[in-house]
């Protein structure tokens, strides 16, 4: 029997019916989410709107309140749902989720590991990408977060996904001994989990870490190099800029995204194989006395020592460019 590709995607077809969520949007861009219920009334400052005016109709209709306020009616898309659903922890934003699915190469039928689950936003994107034949094993150390995520995911999909397992507990302490094709970490200290994940990630598999600060970014990158069994990581940040186009008035819109986080993506080498690396001296001060993280295995002991000495010697000195600028100001 063939599987309907839309199965478990959360996408519903046909007329809108009672018990479903719909998004109402007015011309000023204000949005409201309604859970359709026969006999129920939605109140606005411009009068009331009966849910019965929506139930049984197709998506894309326009409905009006008694006072003439018009709304378009659609089922929420996945990205709209993830930013409006109940949340306990911060969710991955749509722009980053889209990049994760692409750069971590999440495919239908994949075996994916995810940690932490938080509110379940990324879980939803991953479940959609793996489809009905894939598996997602998600780890979350806080039970109350896991419960919210389970509720959010089931509500969107309309029931449980047979390929989704949620384990409550710290990732390193509870990780299952099973091979995974892709691993996505969105947690405070992903670098602590790299050894455990590396043991389960198949050769050629991808690890993608989402972090919000540059300090975390550095820790992940250096831990991957220190481990050795991963390719040199690719690090990116995504900015999305909206545009306004109306006749000759074409300009950037107001909806440019602010900073959310960074993606660090790397591939697993074959068992026992160390990734080849360019041998070079680290940048001055890169691993100086103030650095306390993992040191990449390619940084030779003598380079490390020289780097530390140089950083310590330089710390009291004024850089030549700064000295020159100061002299100019004094004159
Ligand atoms: C930012 S939230 C994840 C948000 C989620 N990706 C989403 O889109 O809804 C980070 C989560 O990681 C969990 N966490 C942190 N360290 C963990 C660990 N060692 N093992 C499992 N979960 C962990 C936290 O409890 C938190 O819920």
Same domain as 53, residue 94: no
Q: Phi/psi at 263 (nearest 5 deg)?
A: -110, 135
Same domain as 96, residue 231: yes
Q: What digits encode the pLDDT tens for the residues 13-35?
A: 999 999 999 999 999 989 999 99
Q: What digits encode the pLDDT tens for the residues 84-140?
A: 898 989 999 999 999 999 999 999 999 999 999 999 999 999 999 999 999 999 999
Domain that holds residue 171: 80-268
Same domain as 97, residue 243: yes
Residue 276 lies in a domain: no
Same domain as 226, residue 314: no
What's the total number of domains in the chain?
A: 3
Same domain as 131, residue 13: no
Nearest to 176 by CA among 207, 199, 160: 199
* Helix (H), strand (E), coil (C) string for 165-222: EEEECCHHHHCCCCCEEEEEECCCCHHHHHHHHHHHEEEEEEEEEEECCHHHHHHHHH
Residue 273 lies in a domain: no
Q: Which residues line ligand 1 (CB under 6 A)?
A: 89-92, 115-116, 118-122, 139-142, 145, 170-171, 186-188
Q: What is the pTM of this model?
A: 0.90
Q: What digits encode the pLDDT tens for the residues 250-268?
A: 999 987 788 999 999 999 9
Q: Which residue is associated with the tokens 């103030």?
A: 290
**Which of 140, 145, 166, 183 is the pocket-test mutation for ligand 1 (most atoms within 8 Å of CB)?**
140
Nearest to 229 by CA among 205, 245, 210, 247: 205
Choose the final residue of a domain: 22, 53, 76.
Answer: 76
CA nearest ligand 1 atom 24, residue: 116
Choose the final residue of a domain: 54, 76, 98.
Answer: 76
Residue 300 lies in a domain: yes
Atom of ligand 1 nearest to the CA of 89: 2
Same domain as 253, residue 162: yes
Look up the CATH number of the domain holding residue 33: 3.10.330.20
**Three-class SS of residue 72?**
strand
**Cβ atoms within 10 A of the Cβ of 52, count?**
15
- Give the whole-angstrom CA distance, residue 2 versus residue 8: 14
Which stretches of 30-113 are DSSP H helices? Answer: 78-84, 94-103
């Amino acid at each position: 029997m063939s599987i309907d590709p839309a199965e478990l995607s959360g996408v519903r077809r046909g007329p809108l019916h009672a018990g479903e969520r719909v998004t109402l949007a007015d011309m000023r861009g204000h949005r409201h989410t309604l859970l359709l219920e026969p006999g129920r009334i939605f109140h606005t400052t411009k009068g009331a709107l009966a849910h019965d005016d929506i139930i049984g109709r197709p998506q894309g209709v326009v409905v009006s309140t008694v006072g003439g306020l018009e709304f378009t009616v659609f089922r929420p898309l996945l990205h709209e749902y993830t930013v409006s659903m109940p949340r306990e922890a911060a969710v991955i934003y749509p722009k980053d989720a889209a990049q994760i699915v692409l750069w971590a190469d999440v495919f239908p039928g994949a075996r994916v590991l995810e940690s932490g689950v938080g509110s379940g936003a990324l879980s939803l994107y991953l479940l959609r990408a793996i489809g009905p034949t894939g598996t997602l094993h998600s780890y979350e150390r806080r039970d109350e977060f896991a419960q919210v995520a389970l509720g959010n995911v089931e509500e969107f999909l309309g029931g449980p996904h047979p390929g989704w397992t949620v384990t409550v507990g710290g990732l390193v302490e509870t990780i299952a001994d099973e091979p995974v094709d892709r691993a996505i970490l969105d947690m405070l200290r992903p670098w602590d989990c790299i050894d455990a994940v590396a043991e389960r990630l198949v050769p050629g598999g991808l690890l993608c870490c989402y972090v919000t600060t540059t300090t975390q970014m550095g820790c992940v990158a250096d831990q991957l190099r220190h481990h050795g069994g991963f390719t040199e990581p690719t690090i990116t940040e995504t900015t999305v800029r909206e545009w306004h186009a109306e006749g000759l008035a074409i300009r950037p819109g107001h909806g440019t995204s602010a900073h959310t986080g960074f993606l660090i993506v790397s591939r697993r080498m074959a068992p026992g194989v160390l990734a080849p690396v360019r041998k070079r001296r680290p940048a001055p001060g890169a691993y100086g006395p103030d650095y306390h993280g993992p040191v990449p295995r390619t940084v030779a002991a003598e380079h490390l020592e020289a780097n530390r000495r140089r950083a310590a010697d330089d710390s009291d000195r004024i850089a030549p460019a700064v000295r020159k600028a100061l002299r100019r100001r004094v004159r």
